[in-house]
Amino acid sequence: MRTAFQWIMSIVYVFQNAVMMLVMGILFFPWALVSPKGAMTACKTYATWALWSARWLVGIRTEVRGTVPSGAVLVPAKHQSFLDILMIYNAIPQPRFIMKYELLFTPIIGVYAWRLGCVPVRRGKRGAAIKSMLADVDSGRVAPGQLVIYPQGTRVPVGEYQPYKVGPYVLYKETGQTAVPVATNAGMFWPKGTMLRTPGLAVVEFLDPIEQGVDQKDFMHQLEDAIETGSNNLMREAGFEPDEVG
């Protein structure tokens, strides 16, 4: 009976969330077209609504731990769920994401991504995208901020492992910025591939920064160890025992 109720409330949550995304996207669209501030306000408003309604409709509470970065930094993050995107976006002051180039041509979403200063990446052309981003910052088209990248390149379901890609190191080297890794357990409550949302405490945790001056091998080792260890600890805290990898 409890499971059936959770399914019903999950469907209600997913439906109203989609409606609110569409409504806010349309309402804020004129402002977003003329100002990055409009795009930022729209996305922050939607993220706040999605997290607030998740608590009251499906019982997902959210918590941000660690020191939230406020300057121009790189944010390599564990990605288990759309929920961790919302939590990270809502937590950091000037977020932008590495994104697939094709998303630029998605109605409404593409305009918001462009106005937010997200970095569209074509396969095999990451270096050119980063140079374009740095030029946009220098020209004043976008403000310096926190650049979020997913080192595994995709959402990774709880209990599974995907190898880390070299992209975060390329960004670390090209931008000259400090990297602030992020761990999460969000996929336990908002899993990939299902509408079911389960109650509990979803956490994103900003970990100790990796300062400049680290070579590729050490950077990738530090990054993976920090994110995987941190995420595993958060999942254990929520009652899941992950397999240790590496």
Q: Which of 10-24, 54-68, 133-147 has the lowest mean pLDDT?
A: 133-147
Q: Cβ contacts of residue 215 below 8 Å, gap of 6+? A: none
At residue 141, does pLDDT exceed 90?
A: no
**Which pLDDT does position 194 carry in this prediction?**
93
Would you state the pLDDT for residue 199? 96
Q: Are residues 20 and 80 in the same domain?
A: no
Residues 138 and 94: their CA atoms lie apart, in Å, by 16
Q: Is residue 126 part of a domain?
A: no
Q: Do 206 and 88 belong together in one domain?
A: yes
Determine the structural domain holding residue 33 and report its residue range: 1-58
Is residue 230 a part of any domain in this protein? Answer: yes
Decide if 101 is inside a domain.
no
Domain total in the chain: 2
Q: Which pTM value belongs to this model?
A: 0.90
Question: Is residue 157 in some structural domain?
Answer: yes
Lowest-confidence pick of 10-19, 42-51, 92-101: 92-101
Are residues 82 and 51 both part of a single domain? no
> Are 68 and 49 part of one and the same domain?
no
Q: Are 232 and 154 contained in the same domain?
A: yes
- Evaluate whether residue 79 is within a structural domain: yes
pLDDT in tens, 36-79: 899 999 999 999 999 999 999 999 999 999 999 998 999 999 99
User: Burial level of 199, CB count in 10 A (0-12/13-18/19+)?
Assistant: middle
Q: Which tens digits make up the pLDDT trace of 119-130?
A: 877 765 556 666
pLDDT of residue 39: 93
In a domain, 110, yes or no: no
* Average pLDDT score over the chain: 89
Residues 6+ apart with CB under 8 A from 70: 92, 93, 146
137: confidence class by pLDDT, cuts 50, 70, 90: low
